[in-house]
Structure 1
Amino acid sequence: MTRRLLIVAHAPSPNTQRLREAAERGARHPDLDDIEVSVKAPLDAGPDDIRGCDAILLGTTENLGYMSGALKDFFDRSYYAVLEEKQGLPCALYVRAGHDGTGTRRAVESIVTGLRWRWVQEPLILRGDWQEAFADQVEELGLYLAAGLDAGIW
């Protein structure tokens, strides 16, 4: 049975685009047989995308101590439309944080709690100046989420 992983990630810069590509690369690992991956920018994703997935990976920048406006818009358009039908949806998050990422993490966690989605991994906070290891960490997160789906763990 094919399982669907939705990656919704805001990528306004070359480095954040690299993170989104890394998440997709991990999720499309060649050892995973029955995973279909869809990658969308937050402004291009909505309730139908959530309804059609079996797990979701969220990615955002830290903007003024909060999530990106684009990810907030995605939640604003999707929250009530999927509230009752997607409870328990496995999810994970990465935050590209120029500072500490605390406010961004808290904001996304608050919304995810309201949606009653299920965290399958602690949010990954990529703090401070750009490091090449960030892409590896996000690739691993994408692989972890997809592998769990493929194995039927979530």
Structure 2
Amino acid sequence: MKTLLIVAHTPSANTLALREAAERGARHPEIEAVEVVVKPPLEAGPEDVLACDAILLGTTENLGYMSGALKDFFDRSYYPLLEEKRGLPCALYVRAGLDGTGTHRAVEGIVGGMGWKWVQAPLILHGEWQEAFLEQVEELAMSLAAGLDAGIL
């Protein structure tokens, strides 16, 4: 059994809906050999990452940067994980009111420093809220979980 960890900041109804879409996608009925663990960034820590086989990160764009909660998760996890989880498959979605560029760059720098492996380009959900965002996040999580299930990640 493989483990997919979803660490997502959900300060609003829309961002909570995104995290729920991610969980729904990761728990697709045809994905059988993947356990899904969902935690907010302030509750997730190095021990959760050590126990997972892939990670999906979700954040809001706050002042052109990742949420303070996700930054806190990285602050507490960076050094304990620096040499422990190199090559960890990861993906990111950003709920961005602007263009998400600064948030993407910030997370990319940390993930790169940790040696994690992007399984696809970050999903930037920018502009006014669209219901299509839910489907996009669900598909992202489903792809990540399916890759674990198939043994290709």
State the TM-score bracket (shorter-chain normalisation): over 0.9
Q: CA deviation at 1:84?
A: 0.5
* Structure 2: unaligned runs, 5 residues or longer: none
1:133 maps to what in 2? Answer: 132
Task: Please state if 1:47 is matched with 2:53.
Answer: no
Q: Residue type matched to 1:18 in 2? A: A
2:22 maps to what in 1? Answer: 23
- What SS does the corresponding residue of 2:91 show, helix, strand or coil? strand
Q: Residue type matched to 1:67 in 2? A: M
Task: Please state if 1:102 is matched with 2:117.
Answer: no
Equivalences for residues 37-116 of structure 1 within 5 A: 37-116=36-115
* Structure 1: unaligned runs, 5 residues or longer: none
After TM superposition, the runs of 4+ consecutive aligned structure 1 residues lying more than 3 A away are: none
- What SS does the corresponding residue of 1:80 show, helix, strand or coil? helix
In angstroms, what is the RMSD of aligned CA positions?
A: 0.3
2:142 maps to what in 1? Answer: 143
| Alignment partners' CA distance in 2, 1:38 and 1:28 | 10
- What SS does the corresponding residue of 1:62 show, helix, strand or coil? strand
TM-score when normalising by structure 1: 0.99
| Alignment partners' CA distance in 2, 1:41 and 1:106 | 21
**Per-residue CA distance 1:126-151 (angstroms, 9 max, x = gap):** 00000000000000000000000000
Count residues in correspondence. 153
| Alignment partners' CA distance in 2, 1:144 and 1:97 | 22
- What SS does the corresponding residue of 2:62 show, helix, strand or coil? coil
TM-score when normalising by structure 2: 1.00
Q: Residue type matched to 1:86 in 2? A: K
**Per-residue CA distance 1:113-136 (angstroms, 9 max, x = gap):** 000000001100000000000000
Q: CA deviation at 1:42?
A: 0.1
